[in-house]
Structure 1
């Protein structure tokens, strides 16, 4: 059906599209079908145990091969993920502001000059020393600003960790409650078809980008009109001819 659907479509090779399906079959769908054939449409989680350097097994969380966690989150807990994404953006902004402040004040005359490392203890120490000094008010303000941002960053990291743990628990608890129809929807629609569709769209984007690049190359190549090119060639030819005549050569 995939070959037939894309047969005769302009610009796109139906066999290139079909190859994406075959690649995905080899990478993922084949294993999924084996699981379904053996166990049915069941989404069962398993603990991820990894041996550490001492040979002891350490629990690294859980996973589900047939229905990965992101599919559960996207379908049932999207608003929780959106909240986490928002926290991540806020944390990134805070971290950037801290880095910017450290860079600005890390020079010879900066507030962080002389500190082996910019951390809470090292920033708080000089702040105590200059407390009450009028001449050091600007420096004290900068140190307080860093401590404030650092505290907000620590709080944000804690909030993010708690939100991620909460979402992880919600997703984990959802698996045993999934019906067979829900598992089919998650696997067929959200996993297989969505992945294949993304691959096909990627193929179309690649074709579009190549076409755009080629059109741009042609536009640059033929940017100068042909009459103008001919005129330039004639002018250069006349110069060469005149130069050869001055050298006594017959043209």
Structure 2
């Protein structure tokens, strides 16, 4: 499996689909020498289940098309279930409130992390904020939750250390970063002199579709163009 492949969570794929930006995956797949990879659970979350819901069918069809074209590949590994369970158990027993563990991560995004680890792939595209913060900035996440709950959050340092050891090689980015890569590679030149407005619109579209990017991040990037 090429090292520069990208394992994708349903959150990022749904954001791209709802923003009509899946074509960026198709264009990038022609040049970057890797694959966009998802697990079976992500396929169920992003394609199979939405196909049964009329308000989400179109987005699911867009994603299904990329699966049929092999732009996105569904991959499983023999130990994926075990690795997912271990990560899920650890991740949901790191923080507790009033003696009760806080359930922070779910099967889809956890299986995405486990699949990347199993395949030895570092790049993970995920728009969901909590999972990324749990891996990249657990202390910041703890402080955020203490503010949200107005109460002290306890930390199981042993489980946090084990979780960090399993995930420390992963490199996270969001659908917005993928759109920016597309812009930097000239994929928005077809909009003539409106490339800058197009990438700005794409970033706002992804934010409103669910990507956890702040208005200030978008404004800062657009100001740098």
Quickly name the TM-score band, shorter chain normalised.
under 0.3
Larger radius of gyration: 1
Of structures 1 and 2, the one with the larger relative CO (CA 8 A, separation 6+) is 2
Structure in which a larger fraction of residues adopt strand:
2
TM-score scaled by structure 2?
Answer: 0.19
TM-score scaled by structure 1?
Answer: 0.18
Structure in which a larger fraction of residues adopt helix:
1
